[in-house]
């Protein structure tokens, strides 16, 4: 797989929120069509519904982790631990690179010190998931 990092930026430039930009770029690799991913991720933008909580780009990345790793077995859901582990790794790597996974901290809402732009967050999340989730696709 060639890198799709710039495709995440292009989607954001078209008006996709941060979560949608990340999730929609890779949804085909986890068996989801783009329209469904777009709809499912709409409420996660601007730090989860505009509340400036968890960064939408991080939310999109962990959304993909669930789709990629879940066993999908409704009667015996045994894959949560593995999915939580990879989701935690995504969040930790993002935090290490950017200083936070919280939208308002990244945007400098209270401190007036921007840690990372939305575009940068989206591209960082894409780079992380390409390495952690889709490396075997390369």
Give the pLDDT confidence of 80-136 residue by residue, as tens digits. Answer: 999 999 999 999 999 999 999 999 999 999 999 999 999 999 999 999 999 999 987
Q: Is the pLDDT of residue 59 over 70?
A: yes
Question: Directed axis angle between helix 118-132 and helix 5-13, to 10°?
Answer: 150
Residue 118 domain boundaries: 5-137
Per-residue pLDDT, 137: 67
User: Into how many domains does the chain fold?
Assistant: 1
Confidence of residue 70 (pLDDT cuts 50, 70, 90): very high
19-42 average pLDDT score: 98
Per-residue pLDDT, 136: 77
130 alpha-carbon distance from chain centroid: 11
Q: Is the pLDDT of residue 1 over 80?
A: no
Give the residue from 28, 44, 45 showing the smallest Cα distance to 36: 28
Between the two ends of the chain, the Cα-to-Cα distance in Å is 4
Tell me the pLDDT tens digit for each residue of 32-55.
999 999 999 999 999 998 899 999
Give the residue from 93, 95, 121, 104 showing the smallest Cα distance to 19: 121
Give the residue from 61, 14, 54 showing the smallest Cα distance to 37: 61
Tokens of 95: 């935090």
Is 64:7 a contact under the CB 8 Å cutoff? Answer: no
């Amino acid at each position: 797989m060639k890198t799709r990092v710039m495709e995440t930026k292009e989607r954001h430039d078209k008006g996709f929120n941060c979560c949608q930009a990340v999730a929609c770029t890779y949804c085909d690799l986890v068996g989801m069509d783009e329209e469904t991913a777009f709809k499912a991720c709409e409420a996660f933008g601007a730090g989860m519904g505009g509340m400036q909580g968890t960064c939408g780009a991080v939310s999109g990345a962990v959304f993909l982790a669930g789709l990629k790793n879940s066993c999908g077995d409704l009667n015996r859901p045994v894959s949560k631990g593995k999915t939580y582990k990879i989701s935690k790794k995504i969040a930790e790597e993002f935090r290490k690179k950017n200083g936070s996974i919280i939208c308002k901290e990244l945007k400098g809402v209270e401190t007036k010190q921007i840690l990372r732009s939305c575009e940068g967050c989206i591209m960082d999340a894409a780079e992380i998931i390409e390495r952690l989730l889709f490396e075997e696709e390369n």
